[in-house]
């Protein structure tokens, strides 16, 4: 960062706006949201600013611009509309020790005006260091949609009760209490317009010394799908669980940028299983998850892709059930979907492919390989997870069952990541092409067997790179 984001205190201070036209009026509208004394310095004011001066909302300074004008100012806006005049008054203000924003001149600014989502006292500021103000406004629009319009009133209510919480709710219960306030019944009631009900719930919980029994699932475990790799492919619910977690157990293939979405003070524990190694067998992973949950912690078990697709999630859930612990599944984008996206493909297409089969390239515990040919009927796309190492066996089994050598095969490694690799081949040449290309796990093999008469879509987005 080239700028440090922080909020300036304005109580008992002045904000000075230099200029009397529309540009100055825009800054004045923003500054009026604060409790500062607004001083607008200009020989004359436009109609809007003149009206504000007439009602006493702002002070109109008509005199000369001197260093005394800026003494004790929290912030100065140079908004005369003249680049030369703005530069001159900005230099004078800086010499007087003021923090200065010069409109449309980032190189002259000490501070930049962010896009603001105002739910006072909750305020979200979005800045781009002057590089992309349009993007900042787009982010603001998204946040305006997410945060309910009257959320600020609820935040203010919670703020008024903080002292009572400190006095009546034991410290060890406070995190859970505030999590309940802002994620459960009180916030929902307020968002639905039932402000009195929300206040009543809060006050009753404070009197009782904490959130209602069962309102917060102590020892709750969330089996969260991180998606195929890229940070922006995790779901909003997955991000929420990461930000609530006390401890995160994560896999070998989890991108470090995804881990950055977790709360700063959350404990992060690596439990990745490296092929051929025994550092973290599944029984040990089950045991540490159960142990953390029994301590009353909010646990996230972060898995690549979707926790319900070849991720051993069922085994972990069974261990939690046996320990009498609560758990939930937070789905994620599975690798088959990400692979199809990389290829510009669709996993199903009307009249051509109406069935999707997700299978694995690994043999079962007794060493028996899957019967891929029994699943690959006409009208099927088969996604084979972690199958690159078994490419010769897959090829031999499919060809041995009479499937045509010319059947289309696509392989995508690290789908959804910037370093994704793609390979197209025929079934007859698959094993050789995989060996020559060096494509490696984590990878998905997509084998597509359309119906005899295909009306599939012909236009597809071109993949970034294709090896053959």
Model pLDDT for residues 363-388, shown as the tens digit of each residue = 777 777 788 999 999 999 999 998 89
235 secondary structure, DSSP code: -
pLDDT average, residue stretch 240-269: 89
Which one from 173, 273, 294, 451 is the annotated catalytic residue?
Answer: 273
Q: Residue 289: is its pLDDT beyond 90? A: yes
Mean pLDDT, the chain, integer: 89
The residues facing 448 across adjacent strands are 381, 408
Please count the residues of the chain.
Answer: 468
Q: Residue 454: is its pLDDT beyond 70? A: no
- Backbone φ and ψ for 299, nearest 5 degrees, come out as -110, 135
**pLDDT score at 461:** 45
Q: Residue 46: is its pLDDT beyond 80? A: yes
More confident residue, 32 or 131: 32
Which one from 27, 140, 251, 303 is the annotated catalytic residue?
Answer: 251
Q: Residue 459: is its pLDDT beyond 50? A: no
Which pair of structure tokens corresponds to residue 327?
């758990």
Q: Residue 175: is its pLDDT beyond 80? A: yes
Closest CA to 341 of 431, 227, 250, 429: 227
345 Cβ contact list (under 8 Å, min separation 6):
339, 410, 446, 460
More confident residue, 252 or 444: 444
**pLDDT score at 458:** 44
Q: Residue 455: is its pLDDT beyond 50? A: no
What is this structure's pTM?
0.60
Which pair of structure tokens corresponds to residue 174?
């406070």
Active site annotation includes 251? yes
Distance CA 250, CA 273 (A): 10
């Amino acid at each position: 960062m080239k700028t440090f984001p922080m909020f300036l205190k304005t109580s008992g201070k002045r904000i000075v706006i230099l200029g009397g036209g529309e540009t100055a009026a825009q800054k004045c509208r923003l500054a009026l949201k604060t409790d500062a004394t607004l001083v607008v310095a200009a020989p004359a004011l436009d109609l809007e600013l003149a009206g504000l001066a007439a009602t006493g909302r702002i002070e109109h300074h008509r005199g000369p611009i001197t260093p005394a004008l800026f003494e004790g100012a929290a912030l100065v806006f140079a908004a005369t509309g003249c680049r030369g005049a703005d530069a001159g008054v900005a230099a004078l203000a800086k010499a007087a020790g003021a923090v200065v924003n010069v409109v449309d001149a980032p190189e002259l600014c000490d501070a930049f005006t962010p896009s603001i989502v105002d739910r006072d006292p909750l305020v979200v500021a979005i800045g781009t260091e002057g590089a992309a103000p349009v993007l900042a406004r787009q982010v603001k629009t998204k946040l305006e949609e997410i945060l309910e319009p009257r959320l600020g009133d609820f935040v203010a209510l919670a703020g008024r009760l903080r002292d009572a919480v400190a006095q009546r709710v034991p410290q060890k219960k406070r995190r859970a209490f505030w999590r309940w306030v802002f994620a459960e019944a009180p916030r929902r009631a307020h968002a639905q317009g039932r402000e009195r009900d929300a206040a009543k719930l809060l006050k009753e919980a404070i009197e009782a010394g904490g959130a209602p029994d069962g309102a917060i699932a102590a020892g709750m475990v969330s089996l969260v799908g991180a998606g195929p790799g890229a940070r922006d492919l995790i779901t909003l619910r997955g991000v929420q669980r990461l930000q609530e977690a006390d401890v995160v157990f994560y896999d070998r293939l989890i991108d470090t940028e995804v881990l950055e979405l977790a709360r700063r003070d959350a404990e992060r524990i690596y439990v990745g299983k490296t092929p051929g190694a025994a550092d973290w067998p599944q029984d040990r992973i089950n045991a540490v998850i159960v142990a953390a949950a029994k301590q009353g912690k909010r646990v996230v078990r972060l898995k690549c892709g979707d926790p319900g697709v070849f991720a051993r999630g069922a085994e972990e859930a069974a261990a939690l059930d046996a320990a009498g612990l609560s758990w939930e599944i937070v789905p994620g984008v599975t690798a088959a979907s990400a692979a199809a996206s990389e290829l510009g493909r669709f996993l199903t297409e009307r009249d051509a492919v109406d069935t999707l089969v997700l299978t694995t390239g690994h043999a079962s515990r007794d060493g028996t390989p899957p019967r891929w040919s029994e699943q690959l009927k006409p009208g099927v796309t088969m996604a084979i997870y972690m199958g690159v190492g078994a490419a010769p066996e897959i090829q031999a089994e499919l060809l041995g069952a009479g499937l045509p050598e010319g059947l289309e095969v696509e392989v995508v490694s690290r789908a959804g990541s910037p370093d994704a690799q793609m390979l197209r081949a025929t079934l007859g040449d698959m094993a050789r092409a995989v060996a020559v290309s060096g494509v490696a796990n984590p990878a998905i093999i997509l084998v597509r067997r359309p119906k005899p008469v295909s009306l599939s879509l012909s236009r597809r987005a071109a993949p970034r790179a294709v090896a053959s």
